[in-house]
Amino acid sequence: MKRDISPVAPECLHLTRKDMVNTRRNALLERNRQLGRIEAALARMEGGQFGICAQCNGSIPRGMLEADPAMVRCPDCLRIC
């Protein structure tokens, strides 16, 4: 017996097709946002600006960059924002 294993929301969630489309759209938007952050980090690496705060030109701690390589602000500037 062949089963349909297409990604469909369980009936108990009562999601409409519009809900599913919006969920997929939001996932794609988030993926594109992350991709943009990664590309910007790579550009900063190539330009010698990786690890330098975009706001104050201070140093971004290594631990923060290991957690999020696309980080653009130091801890002090993050507190200000």
Q: What is the pLDDT of residue 74?
A: 96
Q: What is the pLDDT of residue 18?
A: 87
Q: What is the pLDDT of residue 5?
A: 56
71, 62 contact by CB (below 8 A): no
Q: What is the pLDDT of residue 77?
A: 95
Number of domains in the chain: 1
Predicted TM-score of the model (pTM):
0.68
Domain that residue 35 falls in: 15-80
Instruction: Say if 1 falls within a structural domain.
Output: no
Q: What angle is formed at CA 14 by the lines to CA 12 and CA 19, rounded to 5 degrees?
A: 135
Q: What is the pLDDT of residue 13?
A: 66
Instruction: Say if 3 falls within a structural domain.
Output: no
The low-confidence residues of the chain, meaning pLDDT below 70, are 1-13
What CATH number did the domain enclosing 28 receive? 1.20.120.910
**C-alpha 60 chain-centroid distance:** 19
Q: What is the pLDDT of residue 7?
A: 58
Instruction: Say if 2 falls within a structural domain.
Output: no
Q: What is the pLDDT of residue 46?
A: 97
